[in-house]
Amino acid sequence: MPLWGARLAKALGVDEPWLLDLLLNQAAACMPGEPARAASVAIAAVQSVGPRDGVEAMRAVQMVATHAAAMKMLQRAALDQPSFEIYDSIVNRATKLLRTYTAQIEALKRYRSAGEQRVVVQHVTVTAEQVNPVPSPRGRGMSRNRRNNPMDPENPKLSRLNRAPRCLARNRRGTPCQSPAVKGRKRCHIHGGADGGGALPGNRNALKHGRYSAEAIAQRRAVAALLRACRDQLDSMRDL
């Protein structure tokens, strides 16, 4: 191998001369322009990637070819096209090539970092209280902050309204109501604690217009059955 060939093989990370010749020919064939200029541009482009072995050299050639094809598509898209469909097709091809080029760069990074080990050193400060925490005399771990909880029954600043018993009626969400109960009663003013509030005895609250009462539903069903019988009778008379 001549001296320039040895230098080129070292720069591209390829030891085999046949593989070096193949990759350079493939890269030069994908580059635009005159053959001599295309070969020089291809060598410079592959060398800029800095391949360190044959796999990285092949990956670099693929990246150079993909970049050249994407630029060719973008050059065609800049020209006047006979229709928008042709222009859109050229732009889509260029976009796919650019995405492929980005994926090739990520694959090259993963290949290069496969054998590397990463060590992360973090500084953690541990206090004496965290090593040996002082247990609470009540056996609940660390002491609770009652001052910031207005609903804690042991809060010294708890208001009279919060000391009142809770309604605990089931609300629409299915959870107990937390509103204070009316004085002298077990429910709040919404769930029957106010004067005149709450449900009336029986089912009289549902009797607004009687449309959904048992009598009205039975009457509508009877009318519907009578109408069906009349339609069946008319259909049988038409067949005669």
Q: Is the pLDDT of residue 3 over 50?
A: no
C-alpha 71/C-alpha 124 separation (Å) is 51
Q: What does 126-158 look like in DSSP terms, one character per residue?
A: --HHHHSPPPPTTSSSSPP--TT-TT-TT-TT-
Question: Which of 19 and 217 is assigned the larger pLDDT?
Answer: 217
Q: Is the pLDDT of residue 1 over 50?
A: no
pTM for this prediction: 0.43
What torsion do the CA atoms of 211, 215, 221, 225 make, to the nearest 10 degrees? Answer: -140
Q: Give the model's pLDDT for residue 57.
A: 83
105-155 pLDDT, tens per residue?
898 888 888 755 566 666 667 665 565 555 555 555 555 555 566 666 666
Question: Which of 105 and 196 is assigned the larger pLDDT?
Answer: 105
55-68 pLDDT, tens per residue?
888 888 888 888 88
Q: Give the model's pLDDT for residue 223.
A: 94
Percentage, residues of the chain above pLDDT 70: 69
Lowest mean pLDDT among 16-25, 170-179, 218-227: 16-25
Residue identified by tokens 């449900």 is: 199
C-alpha 114/C-alpha 109 separation (Å) is 9
C-alpha 178/C-alpha 171 separation (Å) is 10
Lowest mean pLDDT among 7-11, 30-34, 205-209: 205-209
Q: Is the pLDDT of residue 160 over 50?
A: yes
164-187 pLDDT, tens per residue?
788 888 888 888 998 888 888 888
Looking only at Cα atoms, what is the longest distance across the chain?
Answer: 110
Question: Which of 109 and 194 is assigned the larger pLDDT?
Answer: 109
Q: Give the model's pLDDT for residue 227.
A: 94
C-alpha 202/C-alpha 142 separation (Å) is 52
Question: Which of 14 and 157 is assigned the larger pLDDT?
Answer: 14
Lowest mean pLDDT among 91-95, 117-121, 215-219: 117-121
